[in-house]
Structure 1
């Protein structure tokens, strides 16, 4: 029974849990951490290279042309959700470690997921094309706007970007995506033929980034700094954030007068937050000692958004009167 239950858990969630457990039991330290950090940087480079190879430029241009859908979604994702993240971070300041509170702001400033938002939009009867294009474009924008948003709302706390950090972001995140865009025509056949391998490469890259981030945090006493009471407060705040994300996205779609398929696409793209972007970006942005702490709200949110999305998609697909 346990094995059957485990098999129904999303594979990405299983890999993330494994990475956290492994980092807690066998954290990379000393020279081992330096090597692990190099492997993580290479894996992140590969992740964004694959993203560049897979997203056709024609889809990017077509998505940009649908500004009536994309512009409000962008403002919601990087505006309203980021401000909400700042609000939840302020609530957490007096009860949680400052780096975990910063993680709530970081969570709010991240872009949407690509795969899960699209999958649940499809299950719910949403506009899949809009969902794919919007989520992909939000992730591209996230590379450029997430850091300025955090700096603006958080006063730069915990972020050691500077010229060196900016160069690192450009080399590890932006450069591989551009290379992928330039060579996607040549690599398209290989990507299609080896889709399963590419998917595994994606997932493992994210898991490695989480492992390295948590290794640094564990070495700095992560589990001693976050008590059982802290976990309860964090889960309560993340649940509140989740309700704001899903409820606000759905209401925004109604206020904009979107068709039901577009409104469903707006719901999942607007409420989901990307661990695929969040984990690698945290590894680049934050010092090793705090990167794992900053990721705690994102990992909790990621798990809860998957738990909520499946029954919600099922409800929307079977009851056209919802909303």
Structure 2
């Protein structure tokens, strides 16, 4: 049998590199560009997207184990460092990128970049990467959980501070955040006692429901963006600049968190957890938040987050595989009372 041509091999490598869920997101953007929701369809899509956002955060609350979250407080230094990477380092890098406006980035793209910088860390992808690299998986679960919880308050507040005029942070805006995000999450926590087992048994179909809900949010956001002519606001040069800037953010976050963890004396397993949890950003949490915070202007704003998410999956998967082949130095402190299983913690694609 003859070997495949170089072009075919390259196509296969690219197909493996692109996460299927991100490919579905890009397909949704294309579909919204060709057939955006208009008229009564737009009203129905808006209503369905609002319900989907509430469902997403309800499921997040119902999946979160309060016992596990409290148990992880013992490693507060690790969580403090990962939180500093997510909510301090990234916003500072975003502010530093302001000098690229308007030469390489438009105001709207820069708004999206700043929003990317205040989104909380991912949960499921960080766990998968940490596990692959033989890091401290229980700590990764807790770090992602704390980031998501803290982000429900920190992300809107940091966005209002950094972005300012692009957000209408009125009493109505705060009520919208509470209605769409906080109340469903709290309801899920209250009902977790009765729903936890059911959600665990049906984690695969519920994970699919999570992803479909996010696709609906993306479709609605870009449908509204088509009315505003978003694709006339971005040139190929600016899109390339945005991609390179997202790559620079990721590289800086990986290097900075790694050096900081090493300088502070963390063991190898904890360093792995800090690097992945401190450099990854949550698509599953960020997209619904953008829809609530920016409303009809969310279309172009979520583009930096989508690009960054694909980059973090590809780059961190390579890094995790490389670290998995390295010898361990000091084993992580075991966490005997914290059960870690193959359950889905957050509705987003694993790396």
For 1:271 and 1:292, the matched residues in 2 are separated by 24
Tell me how far 1:57 sits from its aligned partner: 0.6
1:249 to 242, 257, 272: 257
Partner of 2:317 in structure 1? Answer: 310
Quick one: which of 55, 67, 72 aligns to 2:81? Answer: 72
Moved more, 91-100 or 78-87: 91-100
Q: 1:320 aligns to what SS in structure 2?
A: coil
Alignment of 1:271-286 (within 5 A): 271-286=279-294
Any idea what the Cα deviations from partners look like across 1:54-105, whole Å, max 9, x if unmatched? Answer: 1111011112332111112112210111111122244244332201111111
Report the alpha carbon displacement of residue 12 of structure 1 after superposing the two structures with TM.
Answer: 2.0
1:53 maps to 62
2:172 is the alignment partner of 1:136: no
What corresponds to 1:203 in structure 2?
211
Q: Deviations over 1:253-285 (max 9, x none)?
A: 112211111110111101101111111001000
Cα offset, 1:309, TM superposition:
1.1
**Which range moved further: 38-47 or 145-154?**
145-154
Deviations 1:167-214 (A, max 9, x none): 111111111111111111101121111111111111111111111111
C-alpha distance in 1, partners of 2:327/2:110? 39
Say yes or no: does 1:298 pair with 2:305.
yes
Q: 1:99 aligns with which of 101, 105, 108?
A: 108
Answer yes or no: is 1:42 the counterpart of 2:28.
no
Secondary structure of 1:246's aligned partner? helix
Farther-moved stretch of structure 1 (1-10 vs 222-231)? 1-10
Q: Which has the higher helix share?
A: 1
User: Partners in 1 of 2:132 and 2:60 — Cα distance?
Assistant: 23
* Greater C-alpha Rg: 2
> Do 2:268 and 2:328's aligned partners in 1 also have CA atoms closer than 8 Å?
no
| 1:141-189 CA distance string (max 9 Å, x none) | 11101121122233x1211231111111111111111111111110112
Q: 1:150 aligns with which of 153, 156, 159?
A: 159
* Distance change >3 Å, CA 164–CA 129, structure 1 → 2: same
1:167–1:110 Cα change, 3 Å: same
Q: What SS is found at the alignment partner of 2:162?
A: helix
2:102 and 2:144 map into 1 onto residues whose CA distance is 31
Match of 1:66, SS? helix
Local SS of the residue matching 2:120: coil
**Is 2:166 aligned against 1:180?**
no
Contact 1:86 1:104 (8 Å CA) reproduced: no
Compared with structure 1, are the counterparts of its residues 133 and 232 closer, same or farther at alpha carbon in structure 2 (3 Å cutoff)?
same
The answer to whether residue 13 in structure 2 is matched with residue 23 in structure 1 is no
Residue segments in structure 1 that go unaligned for 5+ positions in a row: none
Tell me how far apart the structure 2 counterparts of residues 262 and 93 of structure 1 sit (CA, whole Å): 40
**Distance change (3 Å), C-alpha of 1:91 and 1:277:** same
Distance of 2:26 and 2:199 partners within structure 1: 28
Tell me if structure 2 keeps the 8 A contact 1:86–1:108.
no
Across the aligned residues of Structure 1 and Structure 2, the Cα RMSD in angstroms comes to: 1.8
Quick one: structure 1 residues 4 and 307, their matched pair in 2 at CA, closer, same or farther if it must change by over 3 Å?
closer
Structure 2 unaligned residues grouped into runs of 5+: 1-7, 330-351
Aligned residue pairs, count: 320
